[in-house]
Amino acid sequence: MIMKTYVPGTGVHAEVGDQIVVGGPAVGTPGRDGEVIALHHEDGTPPYDVRWSDTGRTTVFFPGPDAHVRHLHEESGRPRPSEQ
């Protein structure tokens, strides 16, 4: 088995503390969001353990096409650990 590493600009990538945002299942229905609390792969590829804000429950999450990651650490101006 060949392990691939994450290449910036390709696929989904998250770090602990990032926010997962998922669109609603139909127009006019709310989506949901949650915090990535653990990674299953060191390179930040899915799946993720996500604590959902609407229920407080934690699930293993495999992002679909309606999901995206908000990198909160970039928005706050804090550098990623790899950039320090």
- 49: helix, strand or coil: strand
CA distance 61 to 30: 18
Distance of alpha carbon 66 from alpha carbon 77, whole angstroms? 26
What pTM, to 2 d.p., does this model score? 0.73
Specify the pLDDT at position 26: 83
Q: Would you state the pLDDT for residue 52?
A: 97
Low-confidence ranges of the chain (pLDDT < 70): 1-10, 73-84
- The rounded percent of the chain whose pLDDT value lies above 90 is 57
